[in-house]
Amino acid sequence: MTEREETLELLVHAVRRFTREVLLPAETEVEETEQIPDRVIEGLKELGLFGMTIPESYGGLGLSMFEEASLVFEVAYAQPAFRSYFGTTNGVGTLGIINFGSEEQRQRYLPRLATGDMMASFCLTEPDAGSDAASLSTRAVRDGDHWVINGTKRFITNAIHAGVFTVFARTGLKEAGAGGISAFLVDRDTPGLTVAKPYRKMGFAGSHESDVIFENCRVPASALLGAEGTGFKNAMRSLDHARLHMAAVATGMCQRLLDEGLRYATERRQFGQPIANFQLIQAMLADSQAEAFAARAMVEKAARAKDAGLKTTKEAACCKYYATEAAGRIADRMLQIHGGNGYIKEYAIERLYRDARLLRIYEGSSQIMQIITAREMVREATN
């Protein structure tokens, strides 16, 4: 075993222990208060999880995709709000700076993001531009040495906590499509930027999503992230990574769901024996185990391919599609195993069932993942 493999093993063990000893006991509190406790946030910082994807030269852990997925499997065993709290800072909120940022921008933001002293948000989705990201209408107009941004972004995770926003706005004509979109780094205290009150949601308690409104929001020319017109490329590159990350989240949840169902099935007795002895219960457990195993294998293989420098747009979409859909099926089966008890809040499965539903929508819906997968298949076959 190499030194790096040994380090990863130690990190995985530490995150697994933290998840079992700190995160799981805090789940009910988060559900009731909609807040991540300070003690949990401090623990996440101490583990370095805010800087998983940030290079070591800027204070982060500098993990590979496979290493990142290995840690996400563990932390996502707990309800997803904990992962969500540091997830955007690691992923879409930071990857654009790493991939396209100037050295000045990297030095300004990455060290603080790596420690969790600052959080980041990714402002792409709009009220009328979700899956069709290229149709966004938020505009940025050049005015001397500044850009003036106007528009509204929707469903922005951690917006109420963020110190910097990666904002995608149209700088070219609408006819230019994706080529007319640019990205900007906008600080929280910039005049004209307003964060709305977080939504009340079906699940994901403790994860906060809000609208972010830009009204004549004036930023310096140095806020442009990458070259003008490269914003869509920036977003798509970040989302390829984020979809593998989200597949790892779903995989971690699959295992938690399965463990909840298996524990209940071995403890619950009917007709004088544990219900785990009944073949129809065993069928649901077996189907779920197979899907959880397949999801993990897919994510690990795709992550290694990405680390090898291969294009993984198709593989990331496949993983995100399969793992999140599997989580939905497993959640449904495990709730069914719980019977009526699965429908009351005394059992974790009720909460996890609601949490699992969002995974098939955000970072690209299942239907968009199907389209991306098929598009890439056709492209490969005809080139």
Q: Active-site residue numbers?
A: 363
Q: Buried b / exposed e across 5-14, counting CB within 10 Å, b at 16+?
A: eeebeebeee
The conformational region for residue 158 under phi > 0 = left, psi -120 to 50 = alpha, else beta, is left
Q: Quick one: CA dihedral 29, 31, 34, 39, positive or negative?
A: positive
E strand or H helix that includes residue 289: helix 279-307
Decide the pairing of beta strands 273-274 and 269-270: antiparallel
Rounded CA-CA distance 70/64 in Å is 10
- With contact defined as beta carbons under 8 Å apart, do 192 and 149 qualify? yes
154 to each of 53, 123, 211, 223, 248, how far by Cα in Å? 25, 8, 4, 21, 24
- Give the length of the chain: 383
User: 81: closest CA among 39, 124, 26?
Assistant: 26
Q: Buried b / exposed e across 198-218, counting CB within 10 Å, b at 16+?
A: beeeebbbbbbbbbbbbeebb
Decide the pairing of beta strands 164-170 and 120-123: parallel
**What would the two tokens of residue 273 be?**
């024996």
- With contact defined as beta carbons under 8 Å apart, do 244 and 322 qualify? no
Rounded CA-CA distance 98/54 in Å is 7
Residues 6+ apart with CB under 8 A from 273: none
**What would the two tokens of residue 209 be?**
């999503």
**What would the two tokens of residue 198 be?**
């977080």
**What would the two tokens of residue 165 be?**
């926003």
- With contact defined as beta carbons under 8 Å apart, do 348 and 335 qualify? no
E strand or H helix that includes residue 218: strand 209-220
Give the distance, in angstroms, between the CA of residue 257 and the centroid of all CA atoms in the same chain.
Answer: 19
